[in-house]
Structure 1
């Protein structure tokens, strides 16, 4: 989920696994009760139904609802379970997530990509495919923020909700599956020992196949979009303005790698065995501030830049990060259990990772399933040599296809819901700020994800992950 260059993008406490069950100052083992996942379920249901059935209440009070539910869960952990580690980790991950989202959103807000051509299905396909390629260089969040505005501008006379939905499918999620830079779980795998080129080698055909199917379906939709024919003459040009913000964007992407697991010299705060460094986040927030104050005001205005979408994401994800703590921990407990290990196959890894990546953070979900899969074969995710052997295959049975199943599912299934990946909700908010009526949470799933995306993901499973 959230995957954003996601999430976190890459800004997760790398050493944290949901199967690491130490808690409290004394390090006692604690298991959260199952009912503690109810606030997360309630929040998901309210996100799904609020804009449809009680819109006035939801739009006015959703910040209070999100903060209240998150506070209840965190208070239970701190007071009843005497476990302050998990809430602190969640708070750190949230700050890391929002720092990157903020830096990328503000930096790209001062960049204007101008596509001066007629809005045709082929022109849209070209722009979507370009966004998918860039997602592997600047992450799905960076690519989403950079391409959504020219995409909206190109289709301003014929824009429909499906344009935005396919943008989320292709640019905000599936596009970032080729490199570890593309999506947070892949980056975490790289930090754990998966070779950088592994994703290119093993994801290329599924990536191309998924994009081909989605772009073909999009062509059918766009071909049948009946609007008045635009008879204007265009020079078919492509230009980028806002060079100063391109520098800020490059710096924000580079700051992603400022992690203690890569550079041991970075100052950290050690809390009960967990090292947390906010050097990267301070740099990113500084970049966002400088990018905004040095941006060309005319470009900001032409992009329709405002902080409203960022504010909405900030408030909604307080609730998501706070309430999903017990859900992730319970999943990790089950995955590490003997029963969980007995159910581990490439098929269950793909669909299990996909299910939870649709509604939870896909980075810890990825780590949980990789750790459980390796543990079932006597390997340890904390040992780089074990991870390298697991990714290479030949030592552990079905390890390559298992890792492939987890990696593809954690990236691809993030498009199943608005909250499956960080840029999804941001793109939705930007589209709504532009006056586009977007489907509600449930309508997104039942009108688009399930009938369009899920069959594509099923075909990917059949073609590349079944014997």
Structure 2
């Protein structure tokens, strides 16, 4: 997910608390719609692809209704309307505006030409994308790099694994070195964590995980590349040609998006507007307007030829917009229960992060934050465990620095475990599928992450926590 999603969440330290939902008294039955929407996303394209393709919006709306209607019955109109408005105005709208902007602006940047996707070339592209992720965010880097890497491998019979590792490294792990890279880290920045604390403290873990995952990719790609030599040749739809970067006019627009995000995190005029009881702060509203304007400017000044060459279309962002609208609504009661801590239905999980002597269990913090971030939105999940660890940034940066590293690494790294762990994951999946890559299903992708990422995370947690 993007840095902007975190900023919007920072206006309310805990969404559940602002919603006024009594998480301590809510049973785990409230999590059924959230589990249901995840299972629908997982099984729809696999078991009923034609129905899913034409009706995923309706299916998502149905699961959302199974949250809203019981909320109306249990807590009344005022609490329910406030809960939904709070989520949609302060979280979802800003979230999708930034995704729309990054998708639109990066879609106008064309890396023209093509190079053959050998194991060495692919590894180089993954490294470049991972480095970009900490500068322009995982979404921006993913949108700029995904089409070139698809073109480089479009004549290979085995190419889905390249996109899977792209999601691992570019859409997730690479965004761990700055607060701009991934929403949870920006949330920590807004709550007082120094900007470069992330760079210095997560660098060892990022290099450890990144090198292992990249090495696994190179080994696998070499094996598959050699196997392809014995198969009938596929005519390359995009023959090799000189590589050029087009649409550079969009780079300042990406810079403007980053500047708007930083502005809203630094400038606090104390002015707000109330919509249905929900306060929208001026700096956040201005940020969203600026980011939306930059996206529209990109549409006006970018070459249509470049967008066409990118295979640019609106379907991926439409799909993400509809699905995440449902996810944001269905997650409301789940976050409320998590917020209740030891008093809520997830108390057994929360108790695991504290040792017998009362000290934080960093190993447990890493895994609980990570596992929940694989399926929930990783920004509020980070926030919950940040607060469970005390919530004092000065203490967490010093005395409990390993705990903060565990929380940060779990939220960022394990967003790669599923297609819905981080917003760019699903966007990359949709783009690759739309361009003919035989992408694995939801559970098929989890098999990849289970074989490659989970053992890496186990080793990392044993070494560092």
TM-score, scaled to structure 2: 0.88
- Does residue 1:206 correspond to 2:205, yes or no? yes
TM-aligned CA deviation for residue 173 of structure 1: 0.1
SS in 2 for 1:113: strand
Q: Contact 1:30 / 1:81 at 8 angstroms: preserved in 2?
A: no
| Aligned alpha-carbon RMSD (Å) | 2.6
2:398 to 392, 400, 406: 392
What per-residue deviation string (whole Å, max 9, x for no partner) do you get for residues 54-78 of structure 1? 2222222110011122133134334
Structure 1 residues 346, 262: closer, same or farther in 2, change over 3 A?
A: same
Structure 1 residues 306, 23: closer, same or farther in 2, change over 3 A?
A: closer
- Does residue 1:137 correspond to 2:142, yes or no? no
Q: Contact 1:47 / 1:441 at 8 angstroms: preserved in 2?
A: yes
Q: Where does residue 335 of structure 2 map in the other structure?
A: 328
Q: Where does residue 372 of structure 2 map in the other structure?
A: 356
Structure 1 residues 105, 342: closer, same or farther in 2, change over 3 A?
A: closer
Size of the alignment, in residue pairs? Answer: 441
SS in 2 for 1:240: strand
Q: Where does residue 306 of structure 1 map in the other structure?
A: 313
Q: Contact 1:23 / 1:29 at 8 angstroms: preserved in 2?
A: no
SS in 1 for 2:9: coil
Structure 1 residues 357, 267: closer, same or farther in 2, change over 3 A?
A: same
1:341-380 matched pairs, under 5 angstroms: 343-344=353-354, 345-374=361-390
Greater mean alpha carbon deviation, residues 50-59 or residues 450-459:
50-59
TM-aligned CA deviation for residue 10 of structure 1: 3.2
TM-aligned CA deviation for residue 46 of structure 1: 1.2
1:13-162 matched pairs, under 5 angstroms: 13-18=9-14, 21=17, 23=19, 31-82=25-76, 83=79, 84-92=81-89, 93-114=91-112, 116-158=114-156, 160-162=159-161
Structure 1 residues 41, 411: closer, same or farther in 2, change over 3 A?
A: same
TM-score, scaled to structure 1: 0.88
Q: Contact 1:19 / 1:333 at 8 angstroms: preserved in 2?
A: no
Q: Contact 1:12 / 1:363 at 8 angstroms: preserved in 2?
A: no
Q: Where does residue 456 of structure 2 map in the other structure?
A: 456
Q: Where does residue 420 of structure 1 map in the other structure?
A: 421
TM-aligned CA deviation for residue 258 of structure 1: 3.5
What per-residue deviation string (whole Å, max 9, x for no partner) do you get for residues 79-100 of structure 1? 5314244322221211111101
TM-aligned CA deviation for residue 4 of structure 1: 3.2
SS in 1 for 2:266: coil
Q: Where does residue 265 of structure 1 map in the other structure?
A: 269
Q: Contact 1:336 / 1:372 at 8 angstroms: preserved in 2?
A: no
- Rounded Cα–Cα distance in structure 2 between residues aligned with 1:113 and 1:287: 21
Structure 1 residues 341, 195: closer, same or farther in 2, change over 3 A?
A: farther
SS in 1 for 2:181: coil
- Rounded Cα–Cα distance in structure 1 between residues aligned with 2:376 and 2:412: 12
Structure 1 residues 115, 129: closer, same or farther in 2, change over 3 A?
A: farther
* Structure with greater helix percent: 2
- Rounded Cα–Cα distance in structure 1 between residues aligned with 2:386 and 2:289: 31
- Rounded Cα–Cα distance in structure 1 between residues aligned with 2:380 and 2:65: 21
Q: Where does residue 318 of structure 1 map in the other structure?
A: 325
TM-aligned CA deviation for residue 221 of structure 1: 1.5
TM-aligned CA deviation for residue 319 of structure 1: 1.1
1:141-220 matched pairs, under 5 angstroms: 141-158=139-156, 160-220=159-219
- Does residue 1:278 correspond to 2:285, yes or no? yes
Q: Contact 2:374 / 2:421 at 8 angstroms: preserved in 1?
A: yes
SS in 1 for 2:262: coil
Structure 1 residues 30, 269: closer, same or farther in 2, change over 3 A?
A: farther
Greater mean alpha carbon deviation, residues 269-278 or residues 321-330:
269-278
SS in 1 for 2:111: strand
SS in 1 for 2:102: helix
What per-residue deviation string (whole Å, max 9, x for no partner) do you get for residues 430-453 of structure 1? 10111112111111112x010111
Q: Contact 2:16 / 2:335 at 8 angstroms: preserved in 1?
A: no
Could you tell me which runs of 5 or more consecutive residues in structure 1 were left unpaired when the two chains were aligned: 375-380, 394-398
TM-aligned CA deviation for residue 11 of structure 1: 4.0
What per-residue deviation string (whole Å, max 9, x for no partner) do you get for residues 209-252 of structure 1? 1111111111112112233589x9x9996531102222222212
TM-aligned CA deviation for residue 141 of structure 1: 0.5
Q: Contact 2:420 / 2:426 at 8 angstroms: preserved in 1?
A: yes
Q: Where does residue 444 of structure 1 map in the other structure?
A: 445
TM-aligned CA deviation for residue 347 of structure 1: 1.5
Q: Contact 1:168 / 1:415 at 8 angstroms: preserved in 2?
A: yes
SS in 1 for 2:389: helix
Structure 1 residues 28, 39: closer, same or farther in 2, change over 3 A?
A: closer
1:242 to 247, 266, 287: 247
